[in-house]
Amino acid sequence: MSTVAVSPAPELVPDQRRALQSVARYEALRLVRHPVFVVATLVYIYDAVITPFTDYANADYPAPAHGTESNLDWPLMPAFLLGLGGLIAMNRITSSSGRFGEVLGAAPMSEPRRTLALCLACLVPAGLALLGAAWVFYFWMTDPPVHTENWGEFSNAELAAIMACGVLAALGGSLLGVLTARWWRWPTAAALTCVLLIAWSIVGLFNDDHPLVTLNHLAAPFTLVSANGNDWSWHHGGSWLWRVPYLAGLCALATIAACAHGSDGELRRRQVRWAAAVGVLTLAALLIGTFTGPAGFYSWDDR
């Protein structure tokens, strides 16, 4: 009588997509509970709610011919609060192990996939920025701030692009937090990165129509549409429509670079190819926006 050896059933391979989604949800929850991000979000929500009702330079607003209100600066709020707040929070979350191992116990993942899950969590600040932008943009379209500086100098498409840049800045700042935590591992990396971003943005606000000044203005991570003084107003040059794909490209590059940490072999080669392609498109958008957009000019100058 012969016997048949029965081998044990093969271990089931976890659904990688489901595991990625689970880790991304977990990291998103860690983000919304992070103290820095909580404070930034509360301030952002408060500012978004009151913006259409406080110092909103609509038709009923008592303003002189050249007032001091600049409601077009709104995208600075998601960029500064959610972008820099997300950068610091995501940097700390990525750097800390926390309960990460417990979550991955049933479904081990490679470091690039874990990093991708962290990048997906960055959609939280982007989503909040989008909601706030939609809220303010609704008032821009239904009760426009006609007395704000530089209002009549932009088309509706350009106004939408200005709002989109604020959303992308919120996303990009958070992604940069993941990137710095993966490649620049020391305690004050996030704070120093924030300082450098702010300094770069300030440098990009010079009043000059030289193409290099316009290039730096469009390349800055977040910037303003104009610079206003007591007796002058300078409209910065460049195309806001082309700034949108430029910022989107930076977000994609940050994701690729972050996920490249810990990768090797064919995955690393594929990441290099993707980075090269996205980098070329991003640079092209920046150059097109610089040289096809309007040159900077004084909207008015009483000096």
Exposed, middle or buried: residue 137 (CB in 10 Å: 0-12, 13-18, 19+)?
middle
From residue 153, alpha-carbon distances to 111, 148, 150, 159, 288 in Å are 47, 11, 5, 10, 20
Q: In the prediction, which pLDDT does 272 show?
A: 92
Mean pLDDT by 10 residues, the chain (303 residues): 43 64 90 94 93 78 65 88 94 73 55 90 96 93 84 89 95 95 87 91 82 89 81 82 95 94 86 94 95 80 69
Q: In the prediction, which pLDDT does 195 show?
A: 93
Is the overall model pTM greater than 0.85, yes or no? yes
Q: In the prediction, which pLDDT does 67 show?
A: 58
Between CA 247 and CA 243 the distance in angstroms is 6
Q: In the prediction, which pLDDT does 10 show?
A: 40
Q: In the prediction, which pLDDT does 109 show?
A: 74
Q: In the prediction, which pLDDT does 104 show?
A: 47
Q: In the prediction, which pLDDT does 169 show?
A: 95
